[in-house]
Structures are given as structure tokens and as C-alpha cells.
């Protein structure tokens, strides 16, 4: 009787079969670099689960907001007072900056500044899910039917570089934040072109410049470079957080990204490049981005070559 039960127990063969199947899947997925059949399966799974996530997010997000709001009333009062003082101080500064603005307008005319090519379509999307608390990828509620394609850059509501679209289904897409991406971003800091690479398990990034001509200091702005084939030029990425001295002509700096993937609720997907021939244009002599409250008002000023 016991022998018959043991003979009927197919757990071990099932277990071994599934292990082999999982190993095969992993091998194929790694060999195909996330493409091929795996990509099709991922798109299908996203199509099936994203509506549920959107529905759940529509219920859960307001509830969590409410709880966070109630819990944070005391902190909000103190913050409100601080902000009032800050507003008063900034109003004073604003009054003094009118003259600077006029001077800027004259200088723009003088040096024939032009707006860089960020005029393409922008698609605002809500972040509706994050499948794994330790995995940085985010699911947004816009997809190919909204004009989104894999590889498009994503900025946050402040206009800071947030990441890149990696997979797209008809109504949804997955975004990998720039701080966790395996691909380096070509950037510009103090007029020097370098590569910005995420650091495993950290929200800081490493900036490497191989043809440096001056050191970097904390607070130095890091922008996407026009040399980049993945991102339009002039998007603020982050700032240098520690002094970086030159070693020969090379330089390595630590950079803190402006965009925090943990707090992303709304993102903007940029339809870029609008004209593929624009990619790889000559690096402008200078590039300055004026960070703004909304991406729509984020303006990149570049000196005409």
C-alpha cells in the first residue's frame, strides 16, 4: 500500500522537470538578451495584468494618500511655515531678478541662442505599479497606442531625466529608472563629455570622464549630452556630490540623480528622436538647462555653433 502511494507520488519528477524548464528559460532569456519569445511573453503578461494594477492603483493610491495626509498633518504645518518664509524670501529675490531677465533676453539675441530640439510629442503617464519592491522597474498606463515605443526617454514632472522605456504593450509600458539601468548615459558636466553609470544597490551613479580638462566640484550640474544616442541633449540628470580630482586626463565623480524612482507618480515620455538624423549632432560649445516646475516649460538653451 505504502509502496503504491510512493509510486503515485509524482512530486519529485515534477519538481525536477520544472527546475530543468526554469533553467532552460533562464538560459534562453539571457542568450536572447531579454528579446525574442521572452519579450512577446512579457508584453502579453503586461497586457493581462496591467488593467488589474491600474484598477488596484485607482483604489489604493487615494487611500494611501489619505492616510499619509492624516499622519503628516503636524509635519505639514511646520513645513507650511517654512515654505511661507521661503516664499517671502524668494519674492524679494524675484523682484531683484527682473533686471537679470532683461539682460538675459538681450544676451540671447546677441549670441543667437536657439531652443534645442525637444519639441516632439510628450506623453504624460501615471505610474501604476512596481512588481517587486526591490526591483526598480515601473509600469506606466500608456503604451504603443499612445505612441510610446521602447527606448524612448522618460522625464519626471520636474523635467529631470527619470529613465527609459524598455517594454511596451498596447496600453502599458515598463520603464527602468536611470539610477538602476544597466546602460550608461552619455552626459555633459562642465563642458566635459562622460558616461554616467548606475551603481548596483545604490541610488548614486558614477560619472567617468576620460578626456577631462578640469576637476568637478559638488553641485556641478550633469546633463544629457548631444553625443548620446538614447537621450536628447540638455536634460538635467543629477549633480556631483563629492569633489572629483583628475588622474591624468581621467576623472571619476559620484553623482546623485535628481529624479527619485521611489517617489515617481507621474512621468512624461518623450517622443525622441523626432528626426533620427538629429542624433549625434556636434556637441554645442555650452549647454545650459533652466530647470522648471513643469517639463513643458523646461527650456534648453544652446549656443549656436
Partner 1 sequence: MRSIRPLLVTLGLSLVALVLQATLFRRIRFVAPDLVMLVVILGALWLRPELAVIVGFVAGLLVDLIVAGGVLGLRALAYTVVAYVASRTKNRTDIGPWAVGVWAALLSILGVVVFLVLGSLFGEAAELGENAVRRLIQVPLINGILATLLSGWVGRLIAGRRVAA
Q: Which three cell numbers stand for residue 176?
A: 527602468
Nearest alpha carbon to residue 153 among 236, 265, 40: 236
Spatial distance between the Cα atoms of 71 and 254, rounded to a whole number of angstroms: 35
- Cβ(208)–Cβ(195) below 8 Å: yes
182 binds partner 1 (CB under 8 A): yes
42 binds partner 1 (CB under 8 A): yes
- Full 3-state SS string of 143-199: CHHHCCCCCCEEEECCCCEEEEEEEECCCCEEEEECCCCCCCEEEEECCEEEEEEEC
The residue within the footprint of partner 1, chosen from 75, 95, 98, 201 (CB under 8 A), is 201
Query: Where does this chain touch partner 1 (CB under 8 A) — which range of 56-64, 84-92, 266-274, 284-292?
Result: 56-64
Using the 8-state DSSP alphabet, how is residue 296 labeled?
Answer: G
Q: Which helix (H) or strand (E) holds 47?
A: helix 36-71
The residue within the footprint of partner 1, chosen from 155, 166, 221, 270 (CB under 8 A), is 166
Spatial distance between the Cα atoms of 131 and 68, rounded to a whole number of angstroms: 22
Shortest distance (Å) from residue 218 CB to partner 1? 23
109 binds partner 1 (CB under 8 A): no
Query: Where does this chain touch partner 1 (CB under 8 A) — which range of 3-11, 86-94, 219-227, 250-258?
Result: 3-11
The residue within the footprint of partner 1, chosen from 1, 3, 6, 18 (CB under 8 A), is 18
11 binds partner 1 (CB under 8 A): yes
149 binds partner 1 (CB under 8 A): no
Binding residues for partner 1, rule: CB under 8 A, are 9-11, 14-15, 18-19, 21-26, 28-30, 34, 38, 41-42, 44-46, 49, 52-53, 56-57, 60-61, 64, 127-137, 139, 166-167, 174-176, 180, 182, 200-202, 262
Amino acid at each position: 500500500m505504502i509502496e503504491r502511494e510512493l509510486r503515485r507520488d509524482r512530486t519529485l519528477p515534477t519538481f525536477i522537470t520544472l527546475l530543468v524548464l526554469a533553467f532552460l528559460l533562464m538560459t534562453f532569456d539571457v542568450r536572447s538578451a531579454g528579446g525574442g519569445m521572452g519579450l512577446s511573453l512579457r508584453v502579453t503578461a503586461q497586457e493581462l495584468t496591467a488593467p488589474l494594477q491600474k484598477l488596484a492603483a485607482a483604489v489604493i493610491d487615494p487611500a494611501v494618500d489619505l492616510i499619509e495626509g492624516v499622519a503628516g498633518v503636524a509635519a505639514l504645518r511646520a513645513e507650511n511655515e517654512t515654505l511661507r518664509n521661503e516664499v517671502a524670501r524668494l519674492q524679494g529675490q524675484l523682484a531683484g531678478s527682473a533686471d537679470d531677465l532683461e539682460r538675459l533676453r538681450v544676451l540671447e539675441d546677441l549670441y543667437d541662442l536657439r531652443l534645442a530640439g525637444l519639441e516632439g510629442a510628450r506623453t504624460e503617464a501615471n505610474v501604476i505599479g512596481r512588481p517587486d519592491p526591490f526591483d526598480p522597474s515601473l509600469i506606466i498606463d500608456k503604451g504603443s497606442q499612445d505612441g510610446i515605443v521602447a527606448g524612448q526617454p522618460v522625464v519626471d514632472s520636474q523635467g529631470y531625466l527619470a529613465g527609459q522605456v524598455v517594454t511596451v504593450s498596447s496600453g502599458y509600458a515598463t520603464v527602468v529608472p536611470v539610477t538602476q539601468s544597466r546602460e550608461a548615459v552619455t552626459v555633459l558636466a562642465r563642458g566635459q563629455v562622460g558616461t554616467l553609470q548606475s551603481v548596483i544597490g545604490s541610488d548614486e551613479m558614477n560619472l567617468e570622464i576620460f578626456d577631462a580638462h578640469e576637476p568637478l566640484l559638488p553641485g556641478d550640474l550633469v546633463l544629457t549630452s548631444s553625443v548620446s544616442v538614447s537621450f536628447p541633449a540638455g536634460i538635467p540628470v543629477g549633480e556631483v556630490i563629492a569633489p572629483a580630482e583628475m588622474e591624468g586626463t581621467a576623472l571619476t565623480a559620484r553623482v546623485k540623480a535628481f529624479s527619485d524612482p521611489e517617489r515617481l507618480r507621474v512621468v512624461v515620455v518623450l517622443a525622441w528622436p523626432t528626426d533620427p538624423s538629429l542624433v549625434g549632432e556636434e556637441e554645442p560649445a555650452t549647454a545650459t538647462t533652466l530647470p522648471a516646475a513643469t517639463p513643458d516649460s523646461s527650456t534648453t538653451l544652446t549656443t549656436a555653433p
